[in-house]
């Protein structure tokens, strides 16, 4: 029991509560302040680290029947409540089930010295930085984070990430992607880097974008731009819901060419969809599909276009006449 009269079991129950609470967007500045105040209490930081380690070791619960069974058993036990905060020890199990609903995601505190994080093809990952900022990594993404005195720095090597930045005017938050740099103090934005092409979409707040250390633009909410080598597109107004649909496990294809749609779908699968009918590459299609669901995509395409879907020996899908 620590100096505040909270036992180890109660501290872990509270840690599980905070773990689940911090995964629910949006997270207010007041909530983050309360979390950091709780974490400063003796024993609570270690309890939170233990909860974080549990999820990192558990991985995908859906693939581990023994862990899932233990979780269900824990949820059925009578709840033990702490005298100070009223959090149930069963919250840990509830948080584990919440992880199942989210999918293959993890949340972790990043060390102030910086580290590298990546996702595999088809994987998405949620992260919480030490300053309270949140990041969601999309499929096949790699990035480096380094916090130093007076600055918060992220380097996006490739892929796509959605940032919810904790406000801190004294420490600017920068994302470097090739020659492009996005500067923010407290906002929500999406950065997608594919080779030399960098797309920046602002959902909330404002950001300053620069290229090769020269100012390019200041974006407002609902605006986006693309940088490609030394070229910068005009700022355009966008519907941020489709642009960030990937954070909800969806790909919105409204008005997209078939070839571009196939490229978008293939980002999430190891066995790609191939178009063996070049004459349909520019055909426009609309709709939405779950990330990683190439079969449903192929079925939708063949329902609206005179094409057939054939599954090849390697598991890939060919669209042909």
Q: What is the mean pLDDT of each run of 10 residues along the chain (321 residues)?
A: 55 77 57 75 80 53 42 44 40 42 38 73 92 94 89 94 92 92 91 95 95 90 91 93 93 92 95 94 92 93 93 93 92
Give helix then strand counts, H and E, for the chain.
Answer: 8, 21
**Residue 202 sits in the same domain as residue 271:** no
**Residue 238 sits in the same domain as residue 254:** no
CA distance 276 to 269: 18
**Total Cβ atoms within 10 A of residue 9:** 14
| Structural domain span for residue 22 | 8-102
**Residue 167 sits in the same domain as residue 202:** yes
CA distance 304 to 315: 23
Domain count across the chain: 3
CA distance 285 to 298: 12
**Residue 175 sits in the same domain as residue 193:** yes
Whether residue 297 is contained in a domain is answered as yes
**Residue 186 sits in the same domain as residue 272:** no
Please say which residue of 55, 80, 102 terminates a domain: 102
Per-residue pLDDT at 179: 85
| Contact in structure between 28 and 166 (CB atoms under 8 Å) | no
Please say which residue of 52, 80, 102 terminates a domain: 102
Write the CATH number for 306. Answer: 3.55.50.30
Kindly report whether the peptide bond that precedes residue 95 is cis, defined as omega within 30 degrees of 0: no
Angle formed at CA 244 by CA 243 and CA 245, multiple of 5 degrees: 100
Write the CATH number for 206. Answer: 2.60.120.1440
CA distance 92 to 130: 22
Whether residue 177 is contained in a domain is answered as yes
Whether residue 109 is contained in a domain is answered as no
Per-residue pLDDT at 277: 93
**Residue 289 sits in the same domain as residue 232:** no
Whether residue 133 is contained in a domain is answered as yes
CA distance 179 to 210: 8
Please say which residue of 74, 102, 130 terminates a domain: 102
Whether residue 298 is contained in a domain is answered as yes
**Cα dist from 199 to 21, 191, 306, whole Å:** 31, 6, 33
């Amino acid at each position: 029991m620590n100096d505040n009269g909270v036992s180890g079991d109660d501290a872990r129950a509270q840690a599980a509560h905070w773990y689940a609470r911090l995964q629910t967007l949006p997270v207010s500045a007041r909530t983050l302040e309360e979390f950091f105040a709780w974490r400063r209490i003796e024993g609570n930081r270690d309890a939170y680290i233990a909860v974080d380690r549990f999820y990192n070791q558990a991985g995908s619960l859906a693939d581990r029947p023994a862990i899932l069974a233990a979780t269900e058993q824990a949820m059925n036990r009578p709840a033990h409540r702490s005298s100070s905060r009223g959090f149930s020890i069963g919250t840990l199990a509830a948080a584990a089930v919440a992880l199942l609903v989210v999918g293959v995601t993890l949340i972790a505190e990043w060390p102030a010295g910086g580290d590298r994080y990546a996702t595999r093809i088809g994987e998405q990952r949620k992260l919480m930085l030490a300053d309270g900022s949140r990041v969601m990594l999309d499929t096949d993404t790699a990035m480096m984070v380094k916090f130093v005195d007076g600055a918060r720095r992220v380097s996006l090597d490739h892929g796509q990430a959605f940032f919810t930045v904790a406000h801190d005017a004294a420490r600017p938050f920068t994302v470097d992607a090739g020659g492009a740099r996005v500067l923010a103090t407290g906002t929500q934005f999406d950065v997608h880097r594919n080779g030399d092409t960098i797309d920046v979409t602002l959902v909330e707040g404002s950001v300053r974008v620069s290229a090769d250390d020269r100012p390019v633009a200041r974006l407002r909410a609902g605006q986006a731009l693309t940088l490609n080598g030394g070229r910068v597109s005009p700022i355009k107004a966008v519907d941020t819901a489709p642009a960030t649909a990937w954070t909800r496990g969806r790909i919105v294809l409204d008005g997209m060419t078939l070839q571009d749609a196939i490229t978008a779908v293939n980002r999430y699968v190891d066995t790609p969809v191939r178009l063996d009918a070049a004459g349909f590459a520019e055909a426009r299609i609309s709709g939405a599909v779950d990330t990683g669901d190439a079969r449903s995509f192929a079925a939708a395409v063949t329902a609206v276009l005179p094409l057939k879907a054939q599954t090849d020996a390697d598991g890939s899908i060919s669209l042909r006449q």
